[in-house]
Amino acid sequence: MTDPKVPRQRRIIDRRKLAAAVEALAEQQGEKARPAVLKVLREALEKGRDELSQRLLDRPSAGHQITAGHAFLVDQLVRVIFDHVTTHLYPVANRSSSERIAVLAVGGYGRAEMAPQSDVDIAFLHPSRRTPWCEQVTEAMLYFLWDLGFKVGQSSRTPEDMVRMAREDLTIRTALLEARFVWGDRELYDEARKRFWSEVVNGTERQFVAEKLAERDARHERMGGTRYVVEPNVKEGKGGLRDLQTLYWIGKYIHRARGAAELVDAGLLTETEYHGFRRAEGFLLAVRCHLHEITGRPEDRLTFDFQKQIAERMRFAERREKSAVERFMQYYFLQVKRVGSLTGVFLAQMDQQFARKRARTGLLAGFNAKSRMLKGYTVFGGKIAAPGDNWFRDDPVRLIEIFQLAEANGLEIDPRSMRQADRDSVLIKDQVRNDPRANAIFLDLLCGRNDPETALRWMNEAGVFGKFVPDFGRVNAQMQFNMYHHYTVDEHTIRAIGFLSKIEKGELAKEHPRSTREIHKVKSRRVAFVAALLHDIAKGRGGDHSILGAEVAEELCPRFGLDEDETDLVAWLVLQHLLMSSTAQKRDLTDPKTIEDFVAEVQSLERLRHLAILTSVDIRAVGPGTWNSWKGQLLGELYDAAHERLRLGHMKHHRSERVAAKKEAVREALGGKAALLEKHGRLLPDSYWIAEPENVISRNIVQYDVAREISEDLSIHCEFDEERGATLVTVIAADHPGLFYRIAGGIHLAGGNIIDARIHTTRNGWAIDNYLVQDPVGQPFAEERQLARIEQAIADAIANRGELVPKLAKRPLKQTRAGAFDVRPRVLFDNDASGRFTVIEVNARDRAALLNRLGRALFENQVIVQSAHITAYGERAADTFYVTDLTGAKITDESRMDTIRQALLDAASDARQAELEPA
């Protein structure tokens, strides 16, 4: 905010030399000089930008210097252009009092904070309206700036206009607040500035602050409501440059501060906090400059595509446990976290200053609201505060206690006490960490009945959380460089604890009915909260975070005060926290072996309850839209089957009993069409009856009957399935090799993503295949035209109308940024996961028509797909196939498996070869 001195200015642009060149051209060529003048101006601009680009590479974190350099470059060009226009194009020998212009820089240009592709926000100030000379000069200058390639935000006003419009419009008022004189009539600028402070600002301080904070809150909401999104907006996101600018605007509006340093003199920041302000600002400005340099446009979104490049440009090196991009992003999040802390402290100090100025009158003139005491703390206005500056120094355990009391009593932490806690968090040493009282207080906070999420977030913002639990400190602000996780590890963890608290209070009963019911049956609720805290605690350590996390749990749980049984259960939950989601999404839940293997690992109902609860909150906390009804149904099916097996010691019904029970349920579902069950039921194998729910079977039987009645060789039906949060696509056709991959290709070509596929063949040779399909953002297709498009695309694919594979290869990914990630394909065979089938799991980078290509590879290797289970984790796809050979047997020959593995790897790896292949 205070303009840093721009070093070696003439290497950026030499205004005197440039002005002399323009002067010479004007004298030599007269009215025809414009192209030549524009050429030397453009050369000067390009030379200056090249110099600043090189400086950014040489000093990649010098954000203040580079942005000030770009503002300096524009200043000099504007001055040369102004002098040229007023001297050579529209000279006036004796100007009247109305023929005066002041050129002002406003916005980011006014702050001297210009990234390489920033707009030039400029204001022309003149004494009265519609002065011909002023209009001519303004227009000529704008044309020069436009021809130089600048995107100009401009206004032309009189001081009277300025005052009137600033009173009415917050955006204009903010822009004028940081208006800076560039060139022209200085007296006119000084006069207008004096009027702005006396007629606009004076008496409107409270209104300005309220409106600015409301504007900030609305912006945060648009940007995702948290500063820890893994693709942040450097300028507009929470904790970004706009938040720092908001503090400066408020400080300047109230205290007439000319720069950030004067916020210290105003008592709003300490010297240490000011240096943190400048460090965060300089880093964020540098990141924005790199973004502009890489993209060649005014880009402020720090997306995955650019994070690696900027990490390299800013010289972040790879370490054994973290990649360069992860280290860069962790530093980024630490800076925006600092911005958040500064914001709280700043606003608290400002609020206190307002309170001192506020004078009571009338009946309340002699009344002062009294604070109350809570365990030695001061409580006033819904906030809890430390009673003195040495409060935490006298007993560092209070650094944990204040957050626990806030949670238990529904209070906020006074920002000045947050400042103290941040300052004194260094007092938390091993003696405090091992103090039984401190750990008991922390456990009470973690398992709080009101809002542990918010209190833990405050504790994290103050730096206390990471000091008290150093393992948590290691994942503080740590991003996960993938498209699946939306938040940093610490934010994901705190959100998981928040969802757990909501489930316990019954606030998410509709989305998580089993977890809501079962959490009140567990023997130790402490286990649930500690497991949520520790499930990702070992991420970023260079190994399997589940195994390493279980080791951390075995050390931390006794320290927190958990007994031996609780410790063992937490450690097991951390070790196996991905087991339930992986089994539900990647395995065939109708296969008895799947349930038997899952139950063999879980072993007890208490473990099952806790694992189901942890799985729900873990998926939910990944990010918006990650939890959906389809995942909920899969997890529910697995839970119910495992619960029955564990409760009874065996599966309640044998295969024949299950088939008979399903047939009775289908008979009831068919109602008046129950006769169809006798007509077609014997054609369907037992595996079909076990795999499909009764509502799907009843639909299939009706569809099959209609198809046979009209001798239809191909029957395709699409229907929105609200219960599963997807579209059910049923294809009935004469079974033949390659049917699966063609259907998959048709669905992909229509814009659908297959999330589950169950493939059946009747005893008379008809395929009845059921697919669950969603759109690219995880929503079902429900509109008639969408369903018709899917049906037509499948019919075309099966009939081989048009070249399917080249079309699929040209279809873009639903998320094109997946190309920013290196996902090495992997193929795993498992002959123990099922009693009847070989299970093949393929992990690869998600891409257009991946499932179609994998299905085709299996077909070409004479492999029969019995069911497919499709899971996507951001940029990574994990597709699981239950298969047999042509005789219906498992694939066990090693050389055969090697051949199939290589074919699948080729299909998963090959980016564009499909375009050259025949359909």
For residue 604, the model assigns a pLDDT of 94
The pLDDT value recorded for residue 415 is 82
Taking only the tens place, the pLDDT of each residue in 840-856 is 999 888 776 788 889 99
| CA 582 remoteness from chain centre | 23
DSSP string, 380-441: ETTEEE-SSTTHHHH-TTHHHHHHHHHHHHT-EEPHHHHHHHHHHGGG--HHHHT-HHHHHH
What is the model's pLDDT at position 187? 93
Strand order in the sheet with 876-884: 714-721, 726-734, 766-774, 753-761, 864-873, 876-884, 838-845, 826-830
Final residue before a domain boundary, out of 184, 200, 216: 200
H or E stretch at 324: helix 324-357
CA angle 738-740-741, nearest 5°?
70
Q: What is the mean pLDDT of residues 809-822?
A: 53
Work out the average pLDDT over 394-421.
94
Same-domain status, 575 and 477: yes
**124/65 same-domain check:** yes
Tell me how far apart the alpha carbons of residues 697 and 184 are, in angstroms, rounded to a whole number. 82
Whether residue 241 sits in one domain with residue 178 = no
Residue 740 lies in a domain: yes
Q: Are residues 195 and 216 in the same domain?
A: no
884 domain-assigned: yes
Whether residues 283 and 330 fall in one domain: yes
Residue with the larger pLDDT of the pair 412 and 415: 412
Tokens 């395995």, residue?
587
Q: Give the confidence band of 542 by pLDDT, cuts at 50, 70, 90.
A: confident
Q: What is the pLDDT of residue 831?
A: 94
Q: Assess contact for 236 and 221: CB atoms under 8 A.
A: no
Q: Of 171, 200, 229, at which residue does a domain stop?
A: 200
Residue 656 lies in a domain: no
Of 44-58, 666-680, 737-751, 774-788, the range with the highest mean pLDDT is 44-58
What backbone torsions phi and psi does residue 591 show, to the nearest 5 degrees?
-80, 120
Q: Which residues pair with 727 in a beta bridge?
A: 720, 773
Average pLDDT over residues 633-640: 89
- pLDDT score of 131: 85
Task: Report yes or no on 385 lying in a domain.
Answer: no
How high is the mean pLDDT of the chain?
A: 87
Question: What is the model's pLDDT at position 134?
Answer: 92
Range with the largest mean pLDDT of 733-747, 794-808, 893-907 = 893-907
Q: For residue 236, give the CATH number of its domain.
A: 1.20.120.330
DSSP states along 425-484: GGG--HHHHT-HHHHHHHHHHHT-SS-HHHHHHHHHHTTHHHHHSHHHHHTTT----SSS
pLDDT band at 360 (very low <50, low <70, confident <90, very high): very low
Model confidence over 559-602: pLDDT tens digits?
A: 999 999 999 999 999 999 999 999 998 898 888 899 999 999 99
Judge whether 412 and 383 are in contact, CB under 8 Å: yes
Which pLDDT belongs to residue 809? 55
Q: Which one is predicted more confidently, 216 or 720?
A: 720
Lowest mean pLDDT among 70-74, 516-520, 768-772: 768-772
Exposure pattern of 388-406 as b/e (b: 16+ CB <10 Å)? Answer: eeebbeeebbbbbbbbbbb
* H/E segment holding residue 864: strand 864-873
Q: What residues pair up with 122 in beta bridges, in sequence order?
A: 105, 154
For position 249, what pLDDT does the model report? 86
Determine contact, residues 872/753, Cβ cutoff 8 Å: yes
What is the rounded average pLDDT of the residues 457-480? 90
Quote the tokens at residue 864: 């029969």
Same domain? For 607 and 742 the reply is no
Residue 458 near residue 411, CB atoms below 8 Å: no
Range of the domain at 847: 707-917
Q: 155 pLDDT exceeds 50?
A: yes
- Name the pLDDT band for 815 (thresholds 50, 70, 90): very low
**Do residue 733 and residue 860 come from a single domain?**
yes
CB 264 within 8 A of CB 276: no
pLDDT score, position 676: 93
Q: Which two tokens stand for residue 523?
A: 């023997």
Of 22-26, 112-116, 735-739, the poorest mean pLDDT is in 735-739
Q: In this prediction, what percent of the chain has a pLDDT beyond 90? A: 54
The pLDDT of residue 494 is above 60: yes
On whether both 603 and 724 belong to a single domain, the answer is no
Determine the pLDDT at residue 361: 43
Mean pLDDT, residues 656-685? 90
- Per the domain annotation, does 221 fall within a domain? yes
CA–chain centroid gap for 543, Å, is 25
Question: Are the beta carbons of 103 and 184 closer than 8 angstroms?
Answer: yes
Alpha carbon distance 173, 209 (integer Å): 12
**What integer pLDDT is reported at residue 225 of this predicted model?**
57
Decide: helix, strand or coil at residue 682: helix
Q: What single-letter amino acid sits at 270? A: T
Q: pLDDT tens across 600-620, in order?
A: 999 999 999 999 999 999 999
Residue 343 binned pLDDT confidence (cut-offs 50, 70, 90): confident
Domain membership flag for residue 424: no
Domain count, the chain: 4
Closest among 279, 312, 294 to 53, alpha carbons compared: 294
How many CB atoms within 10 Å of residue 802?
12
Lowest average pLDDT, out of 194-198, 437-441, 735-739, 784-788, goes to 735-739
Order of strands, edge to edge, in the sheet holding 372-374?
372-374, 377-380, 383-385, 412-413
Residue 330 has pLDDT above 90, yes or no: no
Domain boundary among 320, 355, 390: 355
For 265, phi and psi rounded to 5 degrees? -60, -30
Neighbours of 505 (CB within 10 A): 14
The C-alpha atoms of residue 839 and residue 897 are separated, in whole angstroms, by 11
Residue 160: which CATH number? 3.30.460.10
User: By CB neighbour count within 10 A (0-12 exposed, 13-18 middle, 19+ buried), where does 720 fall?
Assistant: middle
Kindly report, residue by residue over 650-668, the tens digit of the pLDDT: 555 566 787 888 899 999 9
Q: Which residues 6+ apart lie within 8 Å of 810 measured at CB?
A: 848, 915
pLDDT number for residue 356 = 56
452-461 helix and 436-446 helix, angle to the nearest 10 degrees? 130
In this prediction, residue 601 carries a pLDDT of: 95
> What are the start-end ranges of the H helices in 821-918?
850-860, 894-909
Distance CA 307, CA 671 (A): 59
pLDDT of residue 177: 86
770, 779 contact by CB (below 8 A): no
Write out the two tokens for 141: 């200058």
Q: Are residues 266 and 172 in the same domain?
A: no
Same domain, residue pair 854 and 794: yes
Q: Report helix, strand or coil for 315.
A: coil
The rounded radius of gyration (Å) of the Cα atoms in the chain is 34
At 651 the pLDDT is: 53
User: What DSSP element (H or E) covers 251?
Assistant: helix 241-255
- What is the distance between the alpha carbons of residues 102 and 185, in angstroms, rounded to a whole number? 5
Least confident of 9-23, 500-514, 820-834: 820-834
Count of alpha carbons within 13 Å of 58, Cβ hemisphere only?
Answer: 8
Same domain, 770 and 801: yes
| Predicted confidence (pLDDT) per residue in 243-291, tens digit | 888 888 888 888 887 777 888 888 888 888 888 889 999 999 999 999 9
Indicate yes or no: pTM above 0.85. no
Say what the pLDDT of residue 3 is: 45
Residue at 797 is within a domain? yes
What are the pLDDT digits (tens) for 23-35? 999 999 888 899 9
Tell whether 753 and 829 lie within a shared domain: yes
